[in-house]
Structures are given as C-alpha cells and as structure tokens.
Amino acid sequence: MDGFIVSARKYRPQHFNTVVGQSHITNTLKNAISNNQLAQAYLFCGPRGVGKTTCARIFAKTINCTNKLENGEACDKCESCTSFNTGASLNVYELDAASNNSVEDIRHLVDQVRFAPQLGEYKVYIIDEVHMLSTAAFNAFLKTLEEPPKHAKFILATTEKHKIIPTILSRCQVFNFNRIKTEDISEHLAFMAKNENVTFEPEALQIIAQKADGGLRDACSIFDQMVAFTGSHLTYKQIVENLHVLDYDYYFEIINQMINQGLPNIMVTFDEILKKGFDGHNFLIGLGEHIRNLLVSKDSYTTSLLEVSENLKKRYSEQATNCSLQFLLKALSIISKTDVNYKSAKNQRLLVEITLMQLCYLTAPLEAEKKNDITEPSTAEKYASSDKNTNQTIIQKINSLQEPEIKFATKPTFAFDKINIKSEFSLNEVKPKQNTVVNTTTTVNETNTLVNTEVKTQHVLDSIKNFADSKMAAGARQIGTTLNTAKISFVNNTITIQIQNESQKEQLQSIKQNFLDELRKSLQNNLIKLEIELLESSEPVKAYKPSDIFKELAEKNPALLELKKEFDLEIDY
C-alpha cells in the first residue's frame, strides 16, 4: 500500500477545464486571467468538497504561468508550473484559519505579504475556512486586504458565507460554488474507475454519488473505501449493503403492491426493512422521493429532473405509467403529513404503518372509479361482494378512523348524483305533465329546454297553495300558514308575496330558492321571479317575536316601561 494515494488527491484537477461541475466559476476566472482583469481579493463560498481550494490553486498556478495556453490554461511546462505541480512553489501560501485563527497568525501572514516573489509575478494567499478567524484577526487583516501590494492576491474560502463580516465581503469578488450534480459526480467516478481498472455497475456509482450529497471529495473517499471493501468490481448490491443505503428495489416493490392492494406484503416488507436496521423516518422520506421521481417521470419534459442512471429512469417511467397522477399527488400529501407528525408520534412504527395502509387504500377507489358505471354501488357494497375483501374491509375500517382527506373516494359518486338530478330536471321540463293546468292557448316549444308557458294568476295561486300544503304535510306548519295568509300578486312574471312581519319574511327568505325552483317547475316557466315583501298596512302589525310582543304591550301600558326602568330589568328576547 506504499504507493497508494487517495483518489481525491490523485484525481485533483490540475486545470480549470477538469474541475467538475463549476464551469460558471472556472470560465469567469479564465476570462479574467486572459483579459488581465484580476481582482485583489476573491471569496470562494460553497459546501465542503466542491472544489474551492482546488480552484484557488489552479488560479495561483495559472496567473504565474509564463507561457499560458490560448485557452487560458497553464502550460504545465514552464518553471513556475513545474514547481507548482511538484508542490515546491513559494508563490502560494495556504493558511487554514480553522486552526490558525489568532491575531499572531494573521500578523505573520501580513508581514510576508510585503515581500515580492522571487520567481513569477504573483504571490497567492489562500485562507481556508476564513469565517473561523477571530474578530481581532479580521481587523488586523482588513488594512492589508484593502490595499495589498500589486504582487499579492488573496483567495478566501468559506463554507459559511453568512459569518463573513460585511467589511470583508465588500472588499472581495465573491464566487458561489455549487453542490455538484449527482450525474457529474458519477461521471467523474466512472473516469476514476476506468483509470484504476475497477469495473462497476452504473447504479453502484450512482449510489456513491448520492451518498456524497454534492461533495466530490466525499465521493472520492467513499469510492476508495468501497474499492478496498469489495475489490475491483463494484456492484449495486454491495454498495447498498456497505453504505447502509436503502435499496430502491424496495420502493419499486412497495408501489407495485400498492397498485395491487397487496397490503399484507407491504407490511411484511416494511418489517424486513426495519429488521435490517433502517429508520422508519428515512424509509418514509425515501418513499416520498420515489413517488416524486415517479411524478417527474410522468412527463418527458420533466424527466431531466431525475438525477438517476438511464436504466433507472426507464424503470421509473415504466412504473409511472401504472400510477395515476391523482394517486401520486395524494400519496405525496399523505407522506408529507406523516413526515411532519413523525417526531411527535408516540408509536412511530404504527404511524408509518397507518400511512402505508392509507397509501395502499388510495388505489382502491381509483380502480373503482375506472370501472364505475352509472349504477354506482356504494364502495362498501363493492368491497363486501369482492373476493379479496379481507384487506379492503380492514383498510376501510382504518379509513373510517381517518380524517376526511382520504374520503375523496366518495367524490365520483357525488358527481354522478349531480348528473342524475340534472337529467331528471330537464326531462320534466321538456315533457309537460298531463295533469298540470295548462291553458289551451299555451304554445309549448318542446325542443327548448326552457319551456316558458304563459302563466295565469290562478295557476300561480294554485301552485303556491300546493307548495304550502306540501310544507304543512311535511311538518313545516309555520311556512304553510304564512303562505296561506300572505297577500299574493302576479305581474310581469313576478310573484310578489307580501307578509306581515320580519320573522315570517326571514322564514320565507330561507327557503326562497327552493320555493322558486318548485314554482318554476310547476308553472313550467323559468322566467318566473319571486319577491318577498313586508306588507305595508295601517293595520297593527301582529306581534310574533318576544321583542315585538313587549313593544306592543308597552304601548298599551306605559307602566311596563317604568317597571323595567325602575328595577333595571332585562328582557329575555
């Protein structure tokens, strides 16, 4: 193992164009160098292991190269380049601020800055983790940073930009490094593997890249570790086991089972996952990601959002065709709810299990919806008559304990109801009933759904009487009485009902729409309007409300008011 160099070092890029996934930065730097527009100080921000220090070193080498190539890269041949490549150059000074953060450390650096380089044009000072500097150290550094000698260039690097004080920020050109895309990382790993004579399954590198979460250095060390563990052939299964990553096959299997309502299998699979030592919460989040990937695979336009191998993309889009959009969206919403509640749940395993049950049940009504015909058997009847009803009745029971959210299964039935009602209406409207009092002069336009026959006052009175009678029969005596005693007039298709007091008016207002519908139906005229008014008459208004009764009595006997005032009484209206 003597000659072993870790891959992160061995494959550290030596040129701007080999830096992985930061082309927006390397291009800008190359342009600045070739146009000779160098800033005094740069601040490189971004997550760890994405190439900040690497870029800083390449920058130092390139600006000192005496024979720069046309594409803006260093030549790698001149004296300066060779000294850089062998690590012997004195023109680059690296300070790790994490361990050297005192005022003395910075003073030492500032002292050095005064001396011009012996070879080459620039001295580059790289200060890593610059946010770790103490306030005093920052202040000691400010002056130099503001007015450095011409030969000095500073590159400050940090993972925590928000901790950099504004006076420093304003003196630097800031570059934000990206997390590196999984795709780019696995490509780089594949390049390394080929050089190292390591064979691999693309999915294996994919998992390493995902685990590294955007950091190329981490990806390289995981790669080294896996090669050491498993030899010169990396398989998906081995990597998944060694990295303790949950195999995505589980998710494909679980979704398949959900489509087929195989709840028992899902529960057993979940148990297996827990037994392997995986955390329920991580499993749930993974399931959410899987469903998100399915959703994204539904449209070829969004497939580019999938950060997975080609092979896996195909599997996703295959499974996505078996899942309805509604199922995926609903499932995501259920999972995110569980995600939020997970921490506070007492029985977390049960919570995940309930979620799985809900998800499994989601597909059942969707299936039903597809097959549903107009006879619309209730879901309960359907399941009772079904052969595989055992799961479903269990799920149903669980479902009945749940919030209304998953009750969307009932929506289709509701829609059918509406349609039926509608068709009933139009049928009645088109065919005039024989027993209704239709004037012989009436012209009926059968093709028009709005059959607006001529209406006579007597018809209106009859219809209102019928309505009042039906209300009486149905137990709504007051409405019946009100209508029977009301004053009714009919002018220009408008029925005006005049009643005696507010409470009667309120009563009628509350049923107005229904009343009007009935009238239009029975009069076969959709243009009929209904007005409800208070009767303005000289006759004393008959008191109905307790407040009215009190007023009436008080008018007759003013002593009542005195009494109320004397004893400070309140009237319970």
Which residues of this protein are in contact with Zn ion, per CB under 5 A? 65, 67, 74-75, 78, 81
Q: Give me the DSSP letters along 102-159.
A: SHHHHHHHHHHHTSPPSSSS-EEEEEETGGGS-HHHHHHHHHHHHS--TTEEEEEEES
- The distance of closest approach from Cβ of residue 67 to Zn ion in the complex, given in angstroms and rounded to an integer, is 5
- The distance of closest approach from Cβ of residue 27 to Zn ion in the complex, given in angstroms and rounded to an integer, is 20
Separation CA 114–CA 148 (nearest Å): 8
- The distance of closest approach from Cβ of residue 51 to Zn ion in the complex, given in angstroms and rounded to an integer, is 21
**Residue among 280, 272, 256 nearest 335 (CA):** 280
- The distance of closest approach from Cβ of residue 53 to Zn ion in the complex, given in angstroms and rounded to an integer, is 20
Segments in 7-134 forming alpha helices (H): 7-10, 23-34, 52-64, 79-85, 103-113
Within a 13 Å sphere around the CA of 471, how many CA atoms are in the beta-carbon half? 21
φ, ψ of residue 342 in degrees (nearest 5)? -55, -50
Residue with tokens 């950099």: 164
- The distance of closest approach from Cβ of residue 76 to Zn ion in the complex, given in angstroms and rounded to an integer, is 6
Separation CA 76–CA 82 (nearest Å): 6
Please work out, in degrees rounded to the nearest 5, the angle formed at the alpha carbon of residue 476 by the alpha carbons of 472 and 481. 60
- Scored b (16 or more CB within 10 A) or e, 511-534 reads eeeebeebbbbbbbbeebebebee
- The distance of closest approach from Cβ of residue 188 to Zn ion in the complex, given in angstroms and rounded to an integer, is 25
Q: Which is nearer to Zn ion, 56 or 335 (CB)?
A: 56
Q: Which is nearer to Zn ion, 33 or 145 (CB)?
A: 33
Q: Which is nearer to Zn ion, 65 or 497 (CB)?
A: 65
- C-beta of residue 154 within 8 angstroms of C-beta of residue 127: yes
Separation CA 354–CA 365 (nearest Å): 17
- C-beta of residue 123 within 8 angstroms of C-beta of residue 91: yes
Q: Which is nearer to Zn ion, 153 or 330 (CB)?
A: 153
Neighbours of 142 (CB within 10 A): 15
Q: Which is nearer to Zn ion, 122 or 175 (CB)?
A: 122
Residue type, 102: S
Burial class (CB in 10 A: 0-12, 13-18, 19+), 76: middle
The distance from CA 223 to its chain's CA centroid, rounded to whole angstroms, is: 33
Q: Which is nearer to Zn ion, 75 or 332 (CB)?
A: 75
- The distance of closest approach from Cβ of residue 75 to Zn ion in the complex, given in angstroms and rounded to an integer, is 3
Q: Which is nearer to Zn ion, 65 or 483 (CB)?
A: 65
- The distance of closest approach from Cβ of residue 80 to Zn ion in the complex, given in angstroms and rounded to an integer, is 6
- The distance of closest approach from Cβ of residue 32 to Zn ion in the complex, given in angstroms and rounded to an integer, is 17
Q: Which is nearer to Zn ion, 75 or 444 (CB)?
A: 75
DSSP state of 196: T
Q: Which is nearer to Zn ion, 70 or 568 (CB)?
A: 70
- The distance of closest approach from Cβ of residue 153 to Zn ion in the complex, given in angstroms and rounded to an integer, is 17
Hey, what are 529's tokens?
């309007």
Q: Which is nearer to Zn ion, 119 or 563 (CB)?
A: 119
Q: Which is nearer to Zn ion, 91 or 257 (CB)?
A: 91
Separation CA 326–CA 319 (nearest Å): 15
Beta bridge partners of 499: 534
Q: Which is nearer to Zn ion, 45 or 74 (CB)?
A: 74
**Residue among 71, 84, 74 nearest 31 (CA):** 71
Hey, what are 435's tokens?
């027993």
Residue with tokens 């303005």: 536
Strand 494-499 vs strand 487-491: parallel, antiparallel, or unpaired? antiparallel
3-state secondary structure string across 312-368: HHHHHHHHHHCCCHHHHHHHHHHHHHHHHHHCCCCCHHHHHHHHHHHHHHHHHHHHH
- The distance of closest approach from Cβ of residue 84 to Zn ion in the complex, given in angstroms and rounded to an integer, is 8
Q: Is 264 helix (H, G, I), strand (E, B) or coil?
A: helix
- The distance of closest approach from Cβ of residue 16 to Zn ion in the complex, given in angstroms and rounded to an integer, is 13
Q: Which is nearer to Zn ion, 118 or 347 (CB)?
A: 118
Q: Which is nearer to Zn ion, 79 or 96 (CB)?
A: 79
The distance from CA 215 to its chain's CA centroid, rounded to whole angstroms, is: 26
- The distance of closest approach from Cβ of residue 81 to Zn ion in the complex, given in angstroms and rounded to an integer, is 3
- C-beta of residue 54 within 8 angstroms of C-beta of residue 13: yes
